[in-house]
Amino acid sequence: MLELIESSDEEESSMNQEDDTQTLEKESSKPSEVSNDEQVMNGDDGSWQEQIPGDLAVDSNWDDIYPNTYSSTSSYNADSPDFESRNTAVDTLQDHLLWQLNLTPMSEKDKSIGFTIIDAIDANGMLTVDIESIHAGFEGEFEVELDEILAVLHRIQQFDPIGVGYRDLSECLLIQLNQLENPKEPKLISNANLIVKEHISLLGNRDYAQLMRKTRLKEAELIETIEVIESLDPRPGANISPPSTTYIVPDVIVTKQIEPGKWKVELNPDTAAKIRINSAYASLVKRADSSEENNYLRDNLQEARWFIKSLQSRNETLMKVATRIVEHQKGFLENGEESMKPLVLHDIAEAVNMHESTISRVTTQKYMHTPRGIFELKYFFSSHVSTKGGGECSSTAIRAIIKKLIAAENARKPLSDSKITQLLEDKGINVARRTIAKYRESLSIPPSNERKRLVE
């Protein structure tokens, strides 16, 4: 009982139908002037049908027996936005490495070892099985020495991308350092090798004082060495088959009006379901008929109408909720995250006279396009923290303040969680230190000791 609306302009389709009808009437009023070839193609004389044998051979072709009386239109469309994703084969890291292994001259035994090693490499390029386990897996099949497995592994580690098949971070970086060509200074690469091989943990903890003491490097030398190390890729295999991109289509579009403080909220027409009742099937339903077939048609027609009505109701609810959110969060739209106000589901539920569970369903996986970006409707809801003046501050706003403070901190002396707590208290916002730590972790910001830099 339901059908898709192919064109939103029904007037245009009706005009086309009228033009087609008039054209057919004009053509039917003209005298028939059909060539002999067209008569054969159209089957007017029936001669082509007599040429069709009663039994066709198994390997016969349709075009060899029946005349081609129509022209098919190809459905290929290279401009389709989904064409590339549907027609592009994505090679995995294993495919990329196996391709290189097959091109590498080596014995069958070494290739068998290479297949086993490549199978144990994860998407980042790390070998997930130790050499001893790989060696044990060949027992009983053919005799393999541990040195042979290491030799094949070192060969694979020279494949593209360089460093793949590494067993730890230090080995991954050392392989890439050894491949660096035309370094600025040979000593620079030597210093980088020393730090990666013996002091990688100190570098990870950003303990620069201890690092300079153990390597006997000056600060300027250490800065240059760290720049070389940071240019390396700790996950060399991740770029071979990156995760597929997921595009979000917003359900609501919010635009700023010319009049100050006015925002326009509208549903995205591209996401609206363009369906309607099929008039041909609906006309088959008879009022006075109580037969089983008619009852079946009537029930399906009723369900189709309820379905369309439910979609309309859903869109109306989404529009109400989005409008209330925009009214409440005008500060965010105007000034950014720091102006986000506290908002909970109960506030919107009361405003639109609906249950909280309904608001929760409407705002889940529904997205709003604003001049500041695309956000899930859930993003605009946040808890609150009390201020000294008796007001409330949104947790989203506090996160934005934390991000701003850390972005402006001294790289040599980064702000600790206790210091951030004190700075927020000076702004009149009372937040516990453990809450600051929780907000910082939610922003994927490391603690102060890991944010320390030698230069700002």
How many CB atoms neighbour CB 217 within 10 A? 18
The pLDDT of residue 428 is 87
Identify the CATH class of 384-451: mainly alpha
Helix (H) or strand (E) holding 4: strand 2-4
Dihedral of the alpha carbons of 293, 296, 300, 302, in degrees to the nearest 10: 110
The pLDDT of residue 274 is 85
Radius of gyration (Cα) for the chain, nearest Å? 35
SS3 content of the chain, % helix, strand, coil (to 5): 55, 10, 40
Tokens 């349709």, residue located: 62
Amino acid residing at 425: E
Cross-strand partners of 126: 166
Closest CA to 225 of 191, 197, 256: 191
Tokens 């090798």, residue located: 193
Q: What is the full per-residue pLDDT of the chain (456 aa) written as tens digits?
A: 999 887 644 555 455 555 555 554 554 454 444 444 444 444 444 444 455 455 545 444 545 544 444 443 444 454 555 555 555 556 889 999 999 999 999 999 999 999 999 999 999 999 999 999 999 888 877 788 999 999 999 999 999 999 999 999 999 999 999 988 655 678 889 999 999 999 999 998 888 889 999 999 999 999 999 999 999 999 999 988 777 778 899 999 999 988 777 899 999 988 877 899 999 999 998 887 889 999 999 999 999 999 999 999 999 999 999 999 999 999 999 999 989 999 999 999 999 999 999 999 999 999 999 999 999 999 999 887 777 766 788 888 999 999 999 999 988 889 999 999 999 988 888 888 999 999 999 999 988 888 887 654
Provide the 8-state DSSP code for 412.
Answer: S
The pLDDT of residue 43 is 45
Task: Please return the burial class of 12, using the count of CB atoms within 10 Å of its CB with bins 0-12, 13-18 and 19+.
Answer: exposed
The pLDDT of residue 22 is 57
Cross-strand partners of 4: 275
Amino acid residing at 129: V
Q: Please name the residue ranges forming H helices in 231-355.
A: 279-282, 292-328, 330-335, 345-352
The pLDDT of residue 26 is 52
Provide the 8-state DSSP code for 124.
Answer: T
Question: Domains of the chain: which residue ranges?
Answer: 91-246, 253-380, 384-451
- 36 token code pair: 């002999």
Q: What is the largest CA-CA distance in the chain?
A: 104
pTM: 0.62
Provide the 8-state DSSP code for 242.
Answer: P
Give the whole-angstrom CA distance, residue 129 versus residue 136. 11
